[in-house]
């Protein structure tokens, strides 16, 4: 997310709860927040709802915002939490529906890389979706979206060491699952 500079007056007005200041910040950041959320949840429709949820939480927490700090980084942290909550609830719903997850049949699943065999792709998707949400977020951002450990740490409010540790666990789990599925990277 591009961290744009905002005028201190605007941030102070927002912290005081002024709706116009909130709207100005919303206009400036809605695309960046959406882009960040959709990278994590990988579902454009859900990402729109989660962007609205993020800004609702941002407005609700306006009194806790420190105008001396970056609004963009704060918004990204809240967006990450919202996306993580979504992944957790989706995982809970999926486990209620079925003990064993079936590979997701996305309509464009054959279009993004025909070179990878369908079976390998489905097994990789399955292994990826079976990761615990906390590890999946980090695996998505680090391995697919190529975000730096520092950026991920800032977004998740974790230390860089914690991000590395979780990434290591995610990779180990993925390797184990892909090994169980007889599909080694």
Partner 1 sequence: MNEEDMSEQAMSEQEEKNLADLLKQSIAPVNRELDRDLWPQVLRRLDQRSADPTWFARTWFAQTWLARTWLASMFSAHALSSVPWFDWALLAALVVGVCVFPNSIPVWLYHF
Using the contact rule CB under 8 A, the part of the chain among 4-12, 71-79, 106-114, 156-164 near partner 1 is: 106-114
CA 18/CA 22 separation, integer angstroms? 6
Nearest CA among 75, 84, 70 for reference residue 41 = 84
Phi-psi map region of 157: left, alpha, beta (phi>0 left; psi -120 to 50 alpha): left
Residue 31 as a binder of partner 1 (CB under 8 A): the answer is yes
Tokens of 82: 């919202």
Helix (H, G, I), strand (E, B) or coil at 148: coil
Residue 173 as a binder of partner 1 (CB under 8 A): the answer is no
Helix (H, G, I), strand (E, B) or coil at 105: coil
Q: Please report how close the Cβ of residue 68 comes to partner 1 at its closest, in angstroms.
A: 25
> Which residue in 12, 18, 28, 30 binds partner 1 (CB under 8 A)?
30
Tokens of 133: 């949400």
Residue 175 as a binder of partner 1 (CB under 8 A): the answer is yes
Residue 88 as a binder of partner 1 (CB under 8 A): the answer is no
Binding site residues, partner 1, CB under 8 A: 23, 26-27, 30-31, 34-35, 38-39, 42-44, 47-48, 51-53, 55-56, 59, 106, 108-109, 112-113, 115-116, 120-121, 124-125, 128, 139-140, 142-144, 146, 171, 174-175, 185
């Amino acid at each position: 997310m591009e961290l744009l500079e905002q005028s201190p007056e605007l941030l102070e007005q927002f912290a005081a709860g002024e709706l116009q200041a909130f709207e100005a910040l919303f206009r400036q950041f809605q695309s960046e927040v959406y882009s960040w959320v959709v990278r994590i949840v990988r579902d454009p429709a859900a990402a729109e709802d989660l962007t609205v949820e993020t800004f609702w939480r941002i407005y609700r927490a306006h009194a806790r915002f420190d105008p001396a700090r970056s609004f963009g980084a704060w918004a990204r942290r809240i967006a990450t939490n919202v996306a993580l909550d979504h992944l957790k609830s989706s995982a809970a719903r999926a486990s209620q529906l079925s003990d064993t997850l079936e590979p997701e049949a996305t309509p464009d699943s054959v279009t993004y890389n025909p070179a990878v065999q369908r079976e390998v792709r489905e097994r990789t998707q399955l292994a990826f979706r079976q990761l615990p949400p906390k590890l999946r977020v980090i695996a998505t951002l680090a391995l697919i979206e190529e975000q730096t450990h520092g950026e991920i740490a800032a977004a998740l409010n974790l230390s860089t060491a914690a991000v590395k540790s979780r990434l290591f666990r995610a990779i180990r789990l993925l390797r184990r699952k892909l090994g169980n599925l007889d599909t080694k990277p």
